[in-house]
Amino acid sequence: MAKKKSSLILLGLLVLVLMLFGWALSGQMQVQKLAKTMLTVHQQFKYRDSEHNLSLSLPLPKYLYYREKARPSWLNYNNGHPYYFFAEYAAMASDSGDDDIIAAVAAYLDGAATLEDLDEVRKAELSLAFMQSFTYIGDNVTEAADEYPRYPVETLVDREGDCEDTAILLAAILDEMGYDVALLLFEEFDHIGLGINMPPGYTMYGNSWIYEGRRYWYLDTAGKRSIGWCPEPYNTTSAYVYPVGD
């Protein structure tokens, strides 16, 4: 009887070990599957009379990495000067971990601009039209926070975001394309926008802010207007200017 009981115990332990091994193997397979999973991003947009379709694939782990990555919130800068805390937002736009993805988007826009024989201003407008095709949505709708800045990859995959999210993503794209861009902080209104410094040979109109002799024209990333148009009340307000990629 004792021998039979011992055999049953050993059999039970063997079954338990096999079950644990199976769970571990299944978990490992799931991790491997996750690592190989690709997300497809497709965005259709129009610029002037032309329709464009941008498609690209990116690894799911890359997206999940940025979803979990720490992010700033300038509402929490306490007594520090907002300009220095604002630098963390610019750092999100120039984060090197997504360089390959941002380069792919920039390459598409560069190629489309070449096919249409667009000058530097028109190419920037094309890029702005791409960004404006994303859905505007507030942080308090998608996240349990009033202030949740997204990394470029997050906004690109989600294809939605608020003013700061679209400004950060477009800043990354335009910087990759060789443009001089700067984030604009309107502290009084808790608003972050984007500005672009165009070559002196181009005549520009609208609202702009000057930083160290460079004039940055407003980009309406979350709206539908052209370069230089800025909504009220920001159009008559001073702003902190922080260049991206300097």
Contact (CB, 8 A) for 196 and 179 = yes
Residue 138: inside a domain? yes
Determine the structural domain holding residue 151 and report its residue range: 58-243
Give how many domains the chain has, as a whole number: 1
CA–CA separation, 107 and 68 (whole Å) = 28
Residue 42: inside a domain? no
Residue 22: inside a domain? no
Residue 1: inside a domain? no
Contact (CB, 8 A) for 223 and 217 = no
* Chain centroid to CA 144: 19
pLDDT in 10s for each residue of the chain, 246 residues? 555 556 656 655 565 655 655 554 444 545 455 567 999 999 999 999 999 999 999 999 999 999 999 888 766 666 667 777 788 899 999 999 999 999 999 999 999 999 999 999 999 999 999 999 999 987 666 665 667 899 999 999 999 999 999 999 999 999 999 999 999 999 888 889 999 999 888 899 999 999 999 999 999 999 999 999 999 999 999 999 999 986
- What are 39's two structure tokens? 């997300």
Domain at 210, CATH number:
3.10.620
192 CB-near residues (< 8 Å, 6+ apart): 89, 163, 164, 167, 183, 184, 185, 186
Residue 2: inside a domain? no
Residue 50: inside a domain? no
Residue 64: inside a domain? yes
Residue 99: inside a domain? yes
